[in-house]
Structure 1
Amino acid sequence: MKQVKRYRWSIILFMVIAALVIWKRPIGVDAFTISVTNLKEMLLLVPPIFVLMGLMDVWIPKETLTKYMGKGSGVLGYLIALVLGSVAAGALYIAFPIASLLMKKGARLSIVLFFLGVWSTSKLPVLLFEIASLGLPFTLIHVGVNLPLSLLFAFLIEKIEKTESVDALREKAPDRA
């Protein structure tokens, strides 16, 4: 019963797709095909990310990460988050385990939030595609608006959030090693 509860949304999704295949076959087949494609993509991307996270967890001591991305890191921590988020590959759901690891190792909340903002809006591969598709002026405006806003909101959230809830968030972050 615990497994059913744990996977209830997957089961519900499967039942909805099965119902669609029965009543609206073309839509159901499309939904099934898209779901399988997304699952394959996720299964190809997630294991290497977890391996990378395991290596980061072992290779980068907590003290080093705290020094460069923790409370006293200053601008350097945000620059590291900018580089990490910019050179990223993959969908945003891959960034969350990395953000969890950063939190667990003592990174400042605003730096982790800025990293997520950069990952979601300013990855280099996406920017190159955006320049080719929408033009350089659009991309410059997009990045020029999104990066400062990501930084501003990261600071605001860190300022508003209570220390106890940030500590609780750190505690909830799973150990990787």
Structure 2
Amino acid sequence: MNKKSIEILKRYRFLSVMILVTLIILAVKPALGIKIYGAALENILGMLGVLPPIFILIGLLDIWVKKETMVKYMGKDSGIVGILLGFFLGSAAAGPLYGAFPVAGVFLNKGSRLANVWIIVGAWASMKIPLLLFEVSSLGIKFTLIRFIMDVFGVLFIAFAMEKILTDEDERQIYELARKMNQ
């Protein structure tokens, strides 16, 4: 085996172990194994329904928005505009949370401030507009407002705390990884 093959095996060892375990379960308890593989297939099909539109939008964002524009509105010196834009983009986004990570990669690659990218991901995870509308109708306006305000402060705290905790080297590595992933 060459070095590249060993790297691939190391990278996917958890997946390989899980496939092996589920194959053993399929052999020992076929009904349970079929349920496991049925759930896995359902999840894969669900992701295939969501990811292509997200990747198309990411491609358009990458082509249409110039780096200078992104730095101006979401970069280090963007201030409150970058924060508000981050909250808007995250809460208006469609799709599950795993769709936020490719978007975050493009924003990092275009020069967005780390805190603003984390605000997008945090808002995507907890502050989506359809979720808020559902909460108002199901749990009431008081609960929704309290949770929303706590989410705003929580997302801001986490984003800026992470930015302060990271060293310049950590930040450089994050931007470098984002650049490599978008190649």
The TM-score normalised by the length of structure 2 is: 0.87
Task: Name 1:10's counterpart in structure 2.
Answer: 15
Task: Name 2:76's counterpart in structure 1.
Answer: 71
Q: Which has the higher contact order (CA 8 A, sep 6+)?
A: 1
Quickly say closer, same or farther: Cα 1:41–1:170, change in 2 above 3 A: same
| Deviation for aligned residue 1:89 | 1.2
Deviates more, 1:132-141 or 1:143-152: 132-141
State which of 35, 46, 51 in structure 1 corresponds to 2:51.
46
Amino acid at match of 1:134: L
| Deviation for aligned residue 1:133 | 3.1
| Deviation for aligned residue 1:149 | 1.1
Q: Any stretches of 5+ residues in structure 1 without a counterpart?
A: none
- Paired with 1:26 and 1:127, the residues of 2 have a C-alpha distance of 39
Q: Any stretches of 5+ residues in structure 2 without a counterpart?
A: none
**3-state SS of 1:33 partner:** helix
State which of 126, 135, 138 in structure 1 corresponds to 2:140.
135
Task: Name 1:93's counterpart in structure 2.
Answer: 98
| Deviation for aligned residue 1:130 | 2.6
Task: Name 1:111's counterpart in structure 2.
Answer: 116
| Deviation for aligned residue 1:12 | 2.5
Q: Number of residue pairs matched?
A: 177
RMSD (CA atoms): 1.8
State which of 143, 164, 169 in structure 2 corresponds to 1:164.
169
**3-state SS of 2:145 partner:** helix
| Deviation for aligned residue 1:16 | 2.2
Task: Name 1:35's counterpart in structure 2.
Answer: 40
- Paired with 2:128 and 2:150, the residues of 1 have a C-alpha distance of 15
